Structure 1
Amino acid sequence: METLLHPEEHQSCLNYCMRKDANIRLLHYPQGTHQIVDTSNPIIIAMLEGEVLVTSDNYKEIHHTAGHISLQMHNSSSYIHVLKASTFISFHSPHDISLCDRFSLQQLPQHIPATFKYQFTLLPIRPRVQEYLDYLRHCLEDGLGCIHFHELKMQELFLLMRAYYTKEELATFFYPLIGKNRGFKDFVYEHYLHVNNLSEFAALANTSIDTFKRRFKEAFGEPAYKWMIQRKAEHVYRDLILTTKTIGEIAEEYRFSSIPYLTTFCKQHLGKTPQQLRNEAEKTREALLH
């Protein structure tokens, strides 16, 4: 680690960001822990060291090892189980991802292989990208938290991806973000946790329920109600097993009118009551520690 000169000037600057607010974050997690992934924006995770199992929405326990990059969708229910002590750099993109001025994500759909089916694609870290990540890691360890530096390094990552990955690789990696319905998909991911039913969702989209259902099926390939229930169940399950929120707080956060309604929902969609799910997860963690 090299000493960052004039740290007081950097840290007092309005353009300095703390780690929890930074667009680029260097994170270390010990073996055996479970961690919730911040998906308030779309996030790219580059694994530098270690080994984890990633659960993201309906993709369960995907094996993610050092030397690979993953993509997490905005507002997805994502968390990791750390199999080996891990270090990674996360890139949180608050704006549209642009690979370069001459090539956008919306030009990628034509490069999706005909038989491709998305299954949480991982990209290998290429040598030049590894060199970039090593340099970035050193700067983050030194405490370089300038917003402008982070924005430049974010742009550099996308330029390197454009330069060192085929269009087919990029199309399969960014698959959840591309396609003719992207604007509608972005709208859904932005708001689905904050509506109670399809009527509210359709009204928010300024369209009829039938039109909303049709557009949803075209964009996501399944009925809107089924998709929303699955996402809500995944978020509830994650918070039950990985947070200290009370069951009442979880019921309120996910817009259940009472704890009994949450209990009925959990029994129907997760197979057990909230307390049973929480107790089961605690026993599993204790067994892993011993």
Structure 2
Amino acid sequence: MDNVNTLSFKDHKPCIYYTANKKNGFRKQILNENESIEFHKGDSNLFLFGIEGDLIISDSESSMELTAGTMSLCTSGDTFIHLKSSRKSVLMILKFKNLESLILEYMLQKGSDEIVEKVFAKTIFTKEMHRFLMSIDDYICADIYCQHLHDLKIEEFFRILAIFHGEESYVSLLGPLRTSNRTFRYQVLSNFRPLMNVIELAEKCNMSVRNFSRRFTEEFGVSPGKWIADKKDGQILQSLSFHDAEMNAISEKFGFASPSHFTNYCKKKFKDTPKGLHQKLSSFYTPLDWENSNYSEKKFSSFCLRPIKI
């Protein structure tokens, strides 16, 4: 009888300094010969990367083979997918949902308007993509599961896909992600600028504020005002993480009336002063002394309250 396990991404509390509303991230899975795994994907999308061995991926409607050097996109379909190895296999898994990636939306605009309804799509990945996946493996082996880092690596993944895989290849691979509302999503992400308000963003998208707000909430699952505010908070924290950050310059950049206004805002939203946030965030990015420290023991626990493990 096959050895069957059930996997799922466990809940986690993201770092308050890099808040993440989505549990997106990379995982690594090793399967022994003739081992079967039932993977819980929920309503998320998966990229599956064959690193070693051979696998059969299936749900209740269809199946496909994943060999070493190929990657598959799994979109609509069952909540669970089934993975079965014919020999010892290693795969990398990227689970994602509701990404706000401009480069992804750009690639989706390259395809036709036809909606592609299929569960699995597959292509060969390049040597550049393989090197990228090996860098992800380094983070996973070091037990580094910072959600902010994973978000950055997801964006890097789509850039590598766009640069090194060619338009014909990525258009075919990403076809199942194309939906009727992608044009609106692309308009929002390509027109958004820091310090924009809802009225200005609606005008850029050539829509009335009422229609824009309704459509935005349907597509992004949050009001445009809340989305813009969250974007602003993320950009503030990113600016404060730089070693040469200047508090007054950041205050002016984000439209605060005075440094004291900026300080009060940070205390209310992030429970600390701008200076305090800067000290914590910049120390997080201080290079480790590789000769005298064991980075795997640090695990960035001060900034990643819970890992995003399977």
Task: Give the TM-score taking structure 1 as reference length.
Answer: 0.50
Q: TM-score, normalised by structure 2?
A: 0.47
Higher helix fraction (1 or 2): 1
